[in-house]
């Protein structure tokens, strides 16, 4: 009877993913993913908002936040490589009815994440000043001081941050996407509540912002630990907590695309921060000590707004992965093509909405980040940065959707190539090249030019992908399953 019910559930799921309208499927699968990513993005954004509005921190604190931010991205890159790889491996094992290997994978991922967090924390603490300098923290003495303070406390939370982020996809793979979302949301709420208490009430400055963040991360990690003791589909035993080379190798190979996607951003941010420091020092205004931190603070704010937009974009695309994978596996490539079209259209609409906001209301955006406490130079540069840096945000959204969709289709090589071209070849290359000709403005130009050039490459691959999604498969599937197209 149990096997019969299981078979019926699989058949119902097949009919649902194969027959339900694409728009409804997108809404059902994408919304929880979008919410989870938006909540995750809140951590650094909330810190920056409260820091910016503290008159004793202001743009110096904002610049420090921008300096330290790439270090959390490095930790995230390692975490998602383990977590996403484990998620994929667990899903494969469950599909093959191999629960033992699924348990080993989760146990190995747990242990690997803990070890990775400890090692990364040790490296950060040993080379703190060198790392801060690498990401532009020596722009002036005040920024360097705030960066060191913020860096130290954030680093102490790295193991908790990595554990929560790595276990999030693992929890989803076990069949509990809502719990994964709630655990992340709980940490964000704690951070939001504690930030004003520590920064404004206790006057703890950058330490207060960091401690609030770390306590939120600890809450998310604690909820992950609780869940791992109460898993549904996979059970972890003591034997699963021993690293096995074959399991670890398979997991990491499945998660390498996620790692490369994140780590390439770090390279781009390092290039941008250092070009801001170098060419800001040559600027007539920002070459002055009291204004030197402004460009780095402003670009950090613009990137945080962009992070919100990208969270929506990635959430929409990543949420569609199960739909893409199922229909590709079933040979229903016509539905995949239809989904691709709807996704690209939706992502372009998100980008268009973001473009309208940054072009028409940059002053309102700046106001959220404490512009009232800053000089006219801060305001003027911030308006320019929003309008120039994000003027090609529509292409940025479409590009990111294309990367993820190709990966979901099994085109990992094309997806990784596009991501590397955008972040390394164009992102780093243009950030280093354009300032030579345009000074500090060249840093702002690097983002839209990179997105425009990447869009050209993406367009070629998108057109090729459309041609490969032959309508003959739709006709064949419609004859047997009466698909609503």
Model pLDDT for residues 138-193, shown as the tens digit of each residue: 888 899 999 999 999 999 999 999 999 899 888 877 778 778 888 888 998 999 99
Could you give the CA distance from residue 382 to residue 294 in angstroms, rounded to a whole number? Answer: 9
- For residue 397, what pLDDT is reported? 93
CA angle 401, 406, 412 (to 5 degrees): 125
> Cα separation of 117 and 114, whole Å?
5
CB 86 within 8 A of CB 109: yes
Tokens of 14: 């097949």
| Amino acid 2: pLDDT | 44
Q: Answer whether residue 128 shows pLDDT above 90.
A: yes
The burial class, CB within 10 Å (0-12 / 13-18 / 19+), for 258 is: buried
**Cα angle, residue 127 at apex, residues 432 and 277 outer, rounded to 5°:** 30
Measure the CA–CA gap between 178 and 32, rounded to whole angstroms.
7
Crossing angle of the two packed helices 99-126 and 141-156, in degrees rounded to 10? 150
Quick one: what percent of the chain has pLDDT higher than 70? 88
Please, what is the average pLDDT of the chain?
A: 84
> Residue 266's pLDDT is what?
83
Bigger pLDDT: 321 vs 216: 216
Residue 470 has a pLDDT of: 63
pTM for this one?
0.77
60 neighbors 143 (Cβ within 8 angstroms): yes
Contact between 116 and 77 (Cβ < 8 Å): no
How far apart are alpha carbons 4 and 6 in whole angstroms?
5
- Category of 54 on φ-ψ map: left (φ > 0), alpha (ψ -120 to 50) or beta: beta
Residue 322, CA distances (Å) to 147, 257, 330, 407 in order: 41, 17, 12, 12
Q: Can you give the pLDDT at residue 253?
A: 80
Radius of gyration of the CA atoms of the chain, in A = 23
pLDDT at 262: 76
Please state, in angstroms and rounded to a whole number, the distance separating the CA atoms of residues 289 and 273.
17
Q: Where do we find the tokens 């690997």? A: 112
CA triple 199-201-202, angle to 5 deg: 70
pLDDT digits (tens, 9 = 90+) for 54-69: 888 878 888 888 889 8
Mean pLDDT of 375-385: 91
What is the rounded distance in angstroms from the CA atom of residue 244 to the CA atom of residue 242?
6
pLDDT of residue 381: 94
Q: Which of 258-262, 292-296, 407-411 has the lowest mean pLDDT?
A: 407-411
Whole-number Å distance between alpha carbons of 315 and 146 = 33
**What number is the average pLDDT over the span 310-334?**
77
Taking residue 241's Cβ as centre, other Cβ atoms within 10 Å add up to 14
How far is 430 from 442, CA to CA, in rounded Å?
8
């Amino acid at each position: 009877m149990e096997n019969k019910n299981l078979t019926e559930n699989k058949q119902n799921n097949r009919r649902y993913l194969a027959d339900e309208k694409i728009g409804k499927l997108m809404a059902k699968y994408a919304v929880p993913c979008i919410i989870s990513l938006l909540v995750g993005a809140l951590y650094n954004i909330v810190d920056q908002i409260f820091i910016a509005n503290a008159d004793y921190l202001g743009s110096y604190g904002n610049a420090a936040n921008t300096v330290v931010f790439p270090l959390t991205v490095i930790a995230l890159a390692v975490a998602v490589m383990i977590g996403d790889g484990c998620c994929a491996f667990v899903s494969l094992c469950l599909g093959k009815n191999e629960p033992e290997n699924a348990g080993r994978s989760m146990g190995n991922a747990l242990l690997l994440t803990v070890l990775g967090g400890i090692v990364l924390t040790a490296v950060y603490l040993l080379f703190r000043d060198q790392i801060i300098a690498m990401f532009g923290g020596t722009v002036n003495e005040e920024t360097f001081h705030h960066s060191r303070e913020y860096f130290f406390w954030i680093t102490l939370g790295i193991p908790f941050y990595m554990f929560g982020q790595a276990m999030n996809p693992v929890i989803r793979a076990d069949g509990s996407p809502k719990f994964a979302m709630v655990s992340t949301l709980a940490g964000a709420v704690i951070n939001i509540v504690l930030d004003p208490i520590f920064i404004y009430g206790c006057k703890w400055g950058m330490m207060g912002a960091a401690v609030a963040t770390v306590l939120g991360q600890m809450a998310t990690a604690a909820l992950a630990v609780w869940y791992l003791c109460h898993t549904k589909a996979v059970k972890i035993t003591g034997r699963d907590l021993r690293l096995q080379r074959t399991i670890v190798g398979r997991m990491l190979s499945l998660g390498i695309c996620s790692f490369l996607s994140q780590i390439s951003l770090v390279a781009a941010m390092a290039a941008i921060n250092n070009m801001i420091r170098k060419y800001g020092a040559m600027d007539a205004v920002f070459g002055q000590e009291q204004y030197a931190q402004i460009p780095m603070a402003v670009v950090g704010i613009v990137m945080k707004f962009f992070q919100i937009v990208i969270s929506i974009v990635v959430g929409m695309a990543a949420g569609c992965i199960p739909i893409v994978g199922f229909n590709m596996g079933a040979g229903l490539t016509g539905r995949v093509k239809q989904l691709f079209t709807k996704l690209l259209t939706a992502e372009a609409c998100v980008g268009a909405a973001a473009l309208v906001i940054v072009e028409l209301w940059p002053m309102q955006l700046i106001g959220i980040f404490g512009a009232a406490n800053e000089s006219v130079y801060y305001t003027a540069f911030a308006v320019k940065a929003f309008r120039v840096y994000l003027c090609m945000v529509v292409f940025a959204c479409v590009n990111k959707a294309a990367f993820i969709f190709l990966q979901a289709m099994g085109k990992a090589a094309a997806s990784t190539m596009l991501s590397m071209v955008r972040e390394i070849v164009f992102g780093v290359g243009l950030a280093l090249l354009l300032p030579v000709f345009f000074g500090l403005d060249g840093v702002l130009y690097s983002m839209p030019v990179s997105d425009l050039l990447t869009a050209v490459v993406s367009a070629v691959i998108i057109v090729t992908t459309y041609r490969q999604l032959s309508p003959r498969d739709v006709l064949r599937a419609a004859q047997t399953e009466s698909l609503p197209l």
